[in-house]
Amino acid sequence: MTAHTSPTSSPATPRVALVTGGTGGIGRVVVDRLVADGFTVAVHYAGNKEKAEAFVADLTARGATAISVGGDVADENDMQAAFDAVESAFGGIDVVVNTAGIMILSPISELNLDDLDRMHRVNIRGTFVVSQQAARRLRNGGALINVSTSVTRTQLPTYGAYVASKAAVQSITLILARELRGRDITVNTVAPGPVATPLFLDGKDEATVANFAKATPLERLGRPEDVAESVAFLAGPARWVNGQVLYTNGGLA
């Protein structure tokens, strides 16, 4: 896939992407995919600076242009500083991929409300803060890609609070796409099905994982690369896909 250029960039200038949660299971593979498509990348981390810097060193050794930026996605000052750092290093931002998020599962009747607040702070406020910065900073021809979940449609027990936060992500995305009329900026959400990442596999026994794998017509769990493929599509050639939720789930309901 060829990296596309924005109207503010020359054909020889790589597009610049900021990936929040860029050292995580999906985020890291998204970064790899965007680099393969010719992007310059900023790898965001929340707390593990050493991990992010090691990843950037690996990317640089492979010939990529990359930096790491830190901060709490739900803190507007942190995110303003992160966007500032990317613009200072590369002159602007063309794509923001917001993979940062947490998942805490519990029946609604038993959920610790502190966990509810923590999850919603990262998933809802964090998405809002990052989306707000993206709306202010993305160059014309840019793209914002948020991440939700296919469980907004499958309504699995114990996912109530998590799905509530991700339904908010979808709503923020769909409205922002309309608010950016005239900017030539696309705003979409990727909603993965079950993907074999530590976030998904944590706390699940083999039988549970096998049942999730059989639930799709393709009879397997998704891979981070499957999600990265959808992100790359929305970040590059998909200029007529806007204000949509792309269910990347192997045919799950």
**pLDDT tens digits, one per residue of 108-129:** 999 999 999 999 999 999 999 9
Confidence bin at 221 (pLDDT 50/70/90)? confident
As a whole number, mean pLDDT of residues 207-225 equals 85
Confidence bin at 205 (pLDDT 50/70/90)? confident
Confidence bin at 12 (pLDDT 50/70/90)? low
pLDDT at residue 193 is higher than 70: yes
Nearest to 127 by CA among 110, 104, 143, 147: 147
C-alpha 33: how far from chain center: 13
Q: Report percent pLDDT > 70 for the chain.
A: 94
- Mean of the per-residue pLDDT values for the chain? 92
- Token pair, residue 94, equals 């063309």
pLDDT at residue 200 is higher than 80: no
The pTM for the full model equals 0.91
Q: Which domains does the chain have, with CATH numbers?
A: 16-194+223-248 (3.40.50.720)
Per-residue pLDDT of 65-83, as tens digits, reads 999 999 999 999 999 999 9
- The answer to whether 247 is a known catalytic residue is no
